[in-house]
């Protein structure tokens, strides 16, 4: 559903869209009591306690004061409701603070300070440096003459590096004094939660622009909860407000997770209740028979000759109340208190503090501690989770020449240093692509040093490596990039940036050399995305060998390429690119199609190899957890060879002959089916052998297997203890977690990046690592830790201890109650027998 936002026109949008009032509350004053009671009584155990409490209100059948049950029951629900009310009140205070914050808004052509909650769609806002953005904005102006501003998105996606946002071309050059008079319309999609996509069109009304259509992307927006940095001011129009912002659409109260112990308790409650019904029916029938045959004759039993219609229910219901101690009401209080205390032990554990960053462990979910002791499968990300995510440039291959092979560090390779000093054309072009084919922002510190703000660790490593080889990217002024090499400054004008996507697996920049006016296309990406587009006649065998050699060493590889464009080709392509960028439907697919029209006949310059080292203690942690009977799956977006080498180095899989790694591959259904059946047959045969058998599968084959051969893949998942899934998407990670959960396995997912959030939320237990990819995973997780090695202590110490104690407590309470109940039944029968004896005398 499309949305039309009329800029600076309050009447057109006032009644169509919500205001900017934020509400994260779960309850209101009117619905708190019924909604909270409904949630609490959704548990079978609570329903049972309510039934017993209601029966005790009938004086004819209860042997005890009803307060003995209603008192604890009300106390339990009061404590739970108070905790929910406290949490919801804290959310209300947080919302109120945000809603009452004052911001500058244009009203009737005048800038005024208004509360954030009164912002309407279409209002123009002024944001100052270090201010938090109150809603989703489309940029109209900035203090930078080139139309650039910098934002920090840590509150949105957990990434701490600054990101650039640019003005739409239609707004470039508009005078500061005229910004509050802008009129126009923005055609955009309805509210959604995708923070990386915004496909819209802008049309300004005369006299600002003569109704030309201007495409908008996420680069032209500032989203709610971002902070404006290193920019004096920015001006934008509100397009999404309140809970309709992208962040607001992503908010929500997470669904409570039911632990294994809770599930067992509910099942036991149901089973014991059924047993009670059987006992009550038997004893009730026996009691009514005795009453009708013997009781009325006894002088000490004063039964009337005729009773009410419900008389037959009285004795069974009395026995039901007498048997009610089989399920003790104290068990709920005890379990809730013990679980909360165990969660605090995790927070207080000084042995789980990461000394490097000072990050402590944290239990965000206090209700599932005992599930840590029942984990059967751990599904883990690779980069940043098993590895440090500190990228170090190690080796490279330039025009068929290998550097860094002997020393293991290309930056110290004498041949490469000499080639740079002599100004080798191939090496200079290679370093130029390393330096400027990226989204890195160079900034000067107070001491004059150049600091790089990069959105990925790979780009940061490449730019720093180029700088160490004396080709320094030192300034970015709007579309002008400046680099220095051998005391000379070179300027490039960025004409277009073809951004990286998971489908394209590459990114490109189109630049114009400011010295000679030549237009170049610089590309970098995965080998399978770059090498097939090499120009005819260029031999790529040496680059394929370089990629294979580097991946065997566990290094991350990127291929670099370039191509010179002529003016006519670029002008024609630019028109098609602008047209594709203006589409509101399938924009990403159309842009990718247009990009491919230019990214061909590439001259391959070389291959880079970057090292991502293992974290300390990873091999020992995995080995210990495997000995404890826990299975491991690695889910990564990296290449297969790199993932396999990392798996070997961290004891994830065993080398031959102790272990065997089977591969599932194929591009068609038939190929994947044959490969899957072959691996399944091998798994069945080797089940009886003391051999560590694992399988590896890529994202393409996995998609086919999950779609067409799900039953066979599920059988394979049950048979194997270890799996490596490469080139997988975030949705595929979540699907694999759901697959294992459907087999009744207890799953734990651990990751550190935003692409791991879906997997973490889908698992029975989600663990997030506060890593270099941000805090998004840690915020979405049930538990957060500083390093992967702390997982061993979290599971084997806290998890097993919590599970053993919780299980013991619940079992002890049930067994004690059953024993007391049976004793009470025996006493009842013995008392009846004595009555019979007395009657005989």
List Cβ neighbours of 383 (8 Å cut-off, separation of 6 or more): 389, 612, 636, 637, 638, 753, 773
Q: H or E stretch including 85?
A: helix 67-99
Distance (Å, whole) CA 481 – CA 385: 34
Structure tokens at 596: 């491919």
Tokens 């052509």 found at? 109
Beta bridge partners of 6: 185
Q: Tell how strand 765-769 and strand 747-751 pair up.
A: parallel
DSSP code for 602: B
Please tell me whether residue 476 adopts helix, strand or coil conformation: strand
**38 backbone φψ class: left, alpha, beta (φ>0; ψ -120 to 50):** alpha
Active site residue 144: no
Other CB atoms within 10 A of residue 674 CB: 13
Contacts of 635 (CB under 8 A, 6+ apart): 379, 380, 381, 382, 725, 728, 732, 733, 736, 759
Among residues 524, 606, 510, 526, which one has the least CA distance to residue 564? 510
Residue 190 gets which letter from DSSP?
A: P
- Cβ proximity of 592 and 501 under 8 Å: yes
Which one of the listed residues 381, 460, 764, 782 is annotated catalytic? 381
Rounded to whole angstroms, how far apart are CA atoms 486 and 210? 47
The Cα 426–Cα 432 span in angstroms is 10
d(CA 272, CA 432): 74
Q: What's the farthest any 2 CA atoms get from each other in the chain?
A: 125
Residue with tokens 């259509």: 213
Q: Which residue has the tokens 């229910």?
A: 313
Interacting residues of 105 by C-beta distance below 8 A, sequence separation 6+: 111, 112, 113, 114, 118, 119, 123, 124, 125, 126
DSSP assignment of 498-537, as one string?
E---TTT-EEEEEEEETTT--EEEEEEE-HHHHGGGBPTT
Buried b (16+ CB within 10 A) or exposed e, 768-787: bbbbbbbbbbbbbbbbbbbb
Hunting for tokens 């399978």 — which residue is that?
528
DSSP type of residue 354 = B
Distance CA 791, CA 765 (A): 12
The neighbour count for residue 499, using CB atoms within 10 Å, is 18
- The residues annotated with a catalytic role in the active site are 381
């Amino acid at each position: 559903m499309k949305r039309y936002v009329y800029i600076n026109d309050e009447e057109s949008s006032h009644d169509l869209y919500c205001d900017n009032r934020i509400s994260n509350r779960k309850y209101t004053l009117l619905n708190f009591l019924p909604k909270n009671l409904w949630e609490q009584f959704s548990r079978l155990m609570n329903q049972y306690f309510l039934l017993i409490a209601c029966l005790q209100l009938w004086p004819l059948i209860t042997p005890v004061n009803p307060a003995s049950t209603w008192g604890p029951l009300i106390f339990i629900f009061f404590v739970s409701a108070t905790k929910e009310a406290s949490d919801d009140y804290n959310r209300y205070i947080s919302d109120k603070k945000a809603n009452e914050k004052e911001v500058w808004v244009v009203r009737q052509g005048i800038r005024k300070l208004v509360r954030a909650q009164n912002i309407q769609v279409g209002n123009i806002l002024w944001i100052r440096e270090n201010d938090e953005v109150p809603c989703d904005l489309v940029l109209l102006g900035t203090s930078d003459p080139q139309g650039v501003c910098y934002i920090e998105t840590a509150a949105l996606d957990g990434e701490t590096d600054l990101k650039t946002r640019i003005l739409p071309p239609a707004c470039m050059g508009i005078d500061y004094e005229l910004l509050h008079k802008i009129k126009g319309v923005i055609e955009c999609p309805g509210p959604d939660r995708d923070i990386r996509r915004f496909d819209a069109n802008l049309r300004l009304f005369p006299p600002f622009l003569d109704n030309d259509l201007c495409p908008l992307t996420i680069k032209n927006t500032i989203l709610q909860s971002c902070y404006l940095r290193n920019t004096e001011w920015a001006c934008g129009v509100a397009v999404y407000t309140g809970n309709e912002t992208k962040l607001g659409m992503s908010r929500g109260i997470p669904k409570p997770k039911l632990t294994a112990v809770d599930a067992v308790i509910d099942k036991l409650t149901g089973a014991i209740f059924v047993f009670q019904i059987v006992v009550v029916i038997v004893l009730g029938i026996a009691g009514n028979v005795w009453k009708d045959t013997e009781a009325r004759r006894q002088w000490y039993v004063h039964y009337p000759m005729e009773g009410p219609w419900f008389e037959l229910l009285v004795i069974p219901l009395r026995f039901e109340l007498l048997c009610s101690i089989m399920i003790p009401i104290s068990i709920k209080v005890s379990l809730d208190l013990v679980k909360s205390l165990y969660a605090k032990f995790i927070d207080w554990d000084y042995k789980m503090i990461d000394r490097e960053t000072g990050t402590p462990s944290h239990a965000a979910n206090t209700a599932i501690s005992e599930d840590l002791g029942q984990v059967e499968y751990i599904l883990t990300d690779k980069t940043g989770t098993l590895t440090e995510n500190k990228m170090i440039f190690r080796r490279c291959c330039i025009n068929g020449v290998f550097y860094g092979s002997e020393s293991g560090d290309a930056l110290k390779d004498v041949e490469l240093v000499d080639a740079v000093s002599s100004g080798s054309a191939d090496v200079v072009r290679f370093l130029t692509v390393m330096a400027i084919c990226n989204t890195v922002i160079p900034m000067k510190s107070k001491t004059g040093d150049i600091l790089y703000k990069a959105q990925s660790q790979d780009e940061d490593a490449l730019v720093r490596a180029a700088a160490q080889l004396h080709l320094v990217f030192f300034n970015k002024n709007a579309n002008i990039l400046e680099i220095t090499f051998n005391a000379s400054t070179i300027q490039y004008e960025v004409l277009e940036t073809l951004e990286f996507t998971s489908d394209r697996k590459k990114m490109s920049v189109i630049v114009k050399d400011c010295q000679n006016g030549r237009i170049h296309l610089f590309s970098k990406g995965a080998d399978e995305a770059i090498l097939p587009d090499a120009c005819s006649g260029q031999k790529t065998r040496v680059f394929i060998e370089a990629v294979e050699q580097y991946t065997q060493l566990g290094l991350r590889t990127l291929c670099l390429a370039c191509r010179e464009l002529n003016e006519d080709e670029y002008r024609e392509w630019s028109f098609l690119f602008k047209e594709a960028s203006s589409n509101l439907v399938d924009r990403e697919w159309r842009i990718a199609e247009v990009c491919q029209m230019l990214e061909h006949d590439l001259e391959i310059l070389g291959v880079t190899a970057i090292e991502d080292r293992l974290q300390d203690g990873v091999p020992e942690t995995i080995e210990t957890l495997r000995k404890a009977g826990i299975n491991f799956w690695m889910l990564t977006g990296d290449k297969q060879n790199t993932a396999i080498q990392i798996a070997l180095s961290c004891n994830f899989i065993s080398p031959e002959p102790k272990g065997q790694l089977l591969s599932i591959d194929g591009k068609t259904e038939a190929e994947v089916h044959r490969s899957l059946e072959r691996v399944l047959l091998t798994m069945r045969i080797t089940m009886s052998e003391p051999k560590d058998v694992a399988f590896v599968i890529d994202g393409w084959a996995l998609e086919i297997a999950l779609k067409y051969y799900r039953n066979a893949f599920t059988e394979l998942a049950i048979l194997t203890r270890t799996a490596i899934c490469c080139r997988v998407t975030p949705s595929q990670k979540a699907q694999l977690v759901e697959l294992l959960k459907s087999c009744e396995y207890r799953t734990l997912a651990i990751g550190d990046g935003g692409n791991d959030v879906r997997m973490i939320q889908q698992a029975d237990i989600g663990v997030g690592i506060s890593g270099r990819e941000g805090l998004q995973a840690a915020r979405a997780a049930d538990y957060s830790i500083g390093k992967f090695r702390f997982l061993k202590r979290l599971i084997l110490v806290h998890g097993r201890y919590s599970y053993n104690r919780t299980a013991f407590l619940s079992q002890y309470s049930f067994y004690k109650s059953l024993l007391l109940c049976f004793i009470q039944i025996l006493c009842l029968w013995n008392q009846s027998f004595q009555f019979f004896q007395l009657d005989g005398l």
